[in-house]
Structures are given as C-alpha cells and as structure tokens.
Amino acid sequence: MSCSTLAARDERVANREIPGRAVRPGEAAVGAVLLGIVALMIALM
C-alpha cells in the first residue's frame, strides 16, 4: 500500500471521528505530508 493511500484512509477515519469539523483541502494536504514524513521516519528507524 502506498503512502498516499494510507494517508487518504487515515484522513477519512479522522473525518469520521470529528464530524463537527470541516477539513480544508490545504489542511488535508499538510496533514498528508506530515503523515508521510512520520511514516518515512518510522520506516528508516
């Protein structure tokens, strides 16, 4: 599974967990990038 697929899945889960909060596209992109960086760091450790 690629990082973008995982990020998209986590994003959907997060959106389900916080129904009262709308995520802006830019905010979602930043979240996906941060998630990718964290995943990369974990993979390199």
Q: What DSSP designation does 3 have?
A: H
Sequential pLDDT tens for the chain (45 residues)? 456 665 556 655 555 555 556 666 777 788 888 999 999 999 998
Whole-model pTM: value is 0.43
Cα dihedral 26, 34, 20, 1, rounded to 10, equals: 100
